[in-house]
Amino acid sequence: MVSIIIPTYYAQDHLRKLLDKIKSQTIKEYELMIIDSSSKDQTVEIARQYTEHVVVIPQNEFDHGGTRAKAARLAQGEIIVFLTQDALPFDDNSIKELVQVFEDERVGAAYGRQLSYAETNLFGKHLRAFNYPETSSLKSKDDIATYGIKTAQLSNSFAAYRKSTLEEIGYFKDNLILGEDVYTGAKMILAGYKLAYVSEAKVYHSHSYTILEEFRRYFDIGVFHRCEKWILERFGKAEGEGGRYVRSEIDYLLSRHAYHLLPAFLIRNGMKYLGYKLGQNYQRLPRSLILRCSMHHRWWQ
């Protein structure tokens, strides 16, 4: 059986549409679990219309890794699918396509292709096109020399895990600022498992981050890489991948004649690099500055 788990917080604007789409999936044998961080809107009421498996936790107990680990331990399925509340399956086969790869017993986790919503800005559209190409792939420890840190890429916006493999590596780690999916993917790769990218399994999921939001997001990525230094040590530094991304983004903008966005492109990427470097050196910064730089203020408590 498959377990589908969705962490929620003030999700009433997205949840009904998402759960209707899950209800129409061609995969029929599944349990649906909603784990909510004490939303004060209609999130829990909507969730209970679709499933009896609704778990409510105190808002201050939410943890990117710990909350998902709690839900995974409660799940009955051997394959566990995670979605975020703002993702939306592309068609009725999205989940079926994702879980089929687990017929290969060496696959520990898989993630699907994320498409941008129509209203997403060009920077957000490029991010999705760069990170989620049209071609599927299967990566193992042997691919580290070729792909570096991308070998461990996963995204819990739409990902599936073999529960027995999660249990073997200790589930998701508690108290990560973000990156619980990449952390887990890296652990699985080093334990000898494969990670699958399934381009046929698609969801809509994208953001139109402002320059300041990009800065803060990359600050937190830098914090994550500083706290989990072993990932870069074992897989390689992120700067090389960053350079490839920048070259791809400028080609993307030029091919769409978006010349007016070139100044924003320069500022945006400069701020991302600055944010990342500051995050990697957060221990040298005063707390007041850290709180201005980070997207996840509660984590610092």
Judge whether residue 86 has pLDDT over 80: yes
Name the nearest CA neighbour of 206 among 125, 110, 269.
125
Mapped onto helix, strand or coil, the DSSP state of residue 48 is helix
pTM of the entire structure? 0.93
pLDDT digits (tens, 9 = 90+) for 94-130: 999 999 999 999 999 999 999 999 999 999 999 999 9
pLDDT digits (tens, 9 = 90+) for 212-231: 999 999 999 999 999 999 99
Rounded to the nearest 10 degrees, how much is the dihedral formed by the CA atoms of 59, 182, 117, 42? Answer: -20
Judge whether residue 236 has pLDDT over 90: no
For residue 238, name the pLDDT band (cuts at 50, 70, 90). Answer: low
For residue 241, name the pLDDT band (cuts at 50, 70, 90). Answer: confident
pLDDT digits (tens, 9 = 90+) for 3-57: 999 999 999 999 999 999 999 999 989 999 999 999 999 999 999 999 999 999 9
pLDDT digits (tens, 9 = 90+) for 264-279: 999 999 999 999 999 9
Judge whether residue 197 has pLDDT over 90: yes
> Strand 107-115 relative to strand 137-139: parallel, antiparallel, unpaired?
unpaired
> How many other CB atoms sit within 10 Å of the CB of residue 252?
18
Q: What is residue 92's predicted lDDT score, i.e. its pLDDT?
A: 96
Judge whether residue 140 has pLDDT over 70: yes
Average pLDDT, whole number, for the chain? Answer: 95
Q: What is residue 28's predicted lDDT score, i.e. its pLDDT?
A: 83
For residues 152 and 189, what is the distance between their CA atoms, to the nearest angstrom?
Answer: 7
> How many other CB atoms sit within 10 Å of the CB of residue 140?
16
